[in-house]
A and B are shown apart, each in its own frame.
Chain A
Amino acid sequence: DQQVKQNSPSLSVQEGRISILNCDYTNSMFDYFLWYKKYPAEGPTFLISISSIKDKNEDGRFTVFLNKSAKHLSLHIVPSQPGDSAVYFCAASANNAGNMLTFGGGTRLMVKP
């Protein structure tokens, strides 16, 4: 049973436009959520996170929104750049599990020049 799901395997966006990546979760114990970016032949790198006590967190071009009642989070990238092309993973952790992460299946983002 997948506890973290990313239902869109891929997303294509024009440079300068907004990219919206979505993630759903089922485990009510999750209270910390993260987004990672992965380039080929590299390990995932941390992008942005959000605690369950917040509904929004911004870092430059990246904003994560959390809707706890819907068990849904999204990552917005504005404006999108060709260098943002990568696979994005949503991950979650429960307070009683420290920083052990449950990942979604990933969304491949392609930003076209």
Chain B
Amino acid sequence: ETGVTQSPTHLIKTRGQQVTLRCSSQSGHNTVSWYQQALGQGPQFIFQYYREEENGRGNFPPRFSGLQFPNYSSELNVNALELDDSALYLCASSLETGLNNEQFFGPGTRLTVL
């Protein structure tokens, strides 16, 4: 069974640019959540996708958007990058969206905005 994978591992962008981060869910998982982890802090929930539809969103501006594909892989897009967007971006997949459904995290993509 393949775990959650993310690409790229590291990325450097400049302020104002756009970035796309990718996540491949664990086999059979139809739910993916994205989190932002700033240095020295805990992960912060960005949004969740369930069967290709946004299922919930945290306190992030609209320039953070996502997609989930029919094979349940997903993307996180960030437009108009700001310095504060520098962080580790984690995706997590789960079988379903319910309360007891364990989330399996990928290793993350470290984004640096200069």
Knowing A42-B107, A44-B90, A105-B41, the reply to whether A100 touches B100 (Cβ < 8 A) is no
Complex Cα distance, B45 from A100, in Å, reads: 7
As a 0/1 sequence over residues 43 to 63 of chain B, the CB contacts with chain A under 8 angstroms (1 = contact) are 111001000000110100000
Q: Are A99 and B44 in touch, CB under 8 angstroms?
A: no
Q: Whole-angstrom distance from the CB of B102 to the nearest CB of chain A?
A: 5
Complex Cα distance, B4 from A17, in Å, reads: 34
The residues of B with any CB-CB pair to A shorter than 8 Å are: 4, 31, 33, 35, 40-45, 48, 55-56, 58, 90, 92, 94, 97-108
The residues of A with any CB-CB pair to B shorter than 8 Å are: 4, 6, 31-32, 36, 41-46, 49, 89, 91, 93, 95, 97-106
For A43, list chain B residues within 8 Å (CB): 4, 90, 92, 104-108
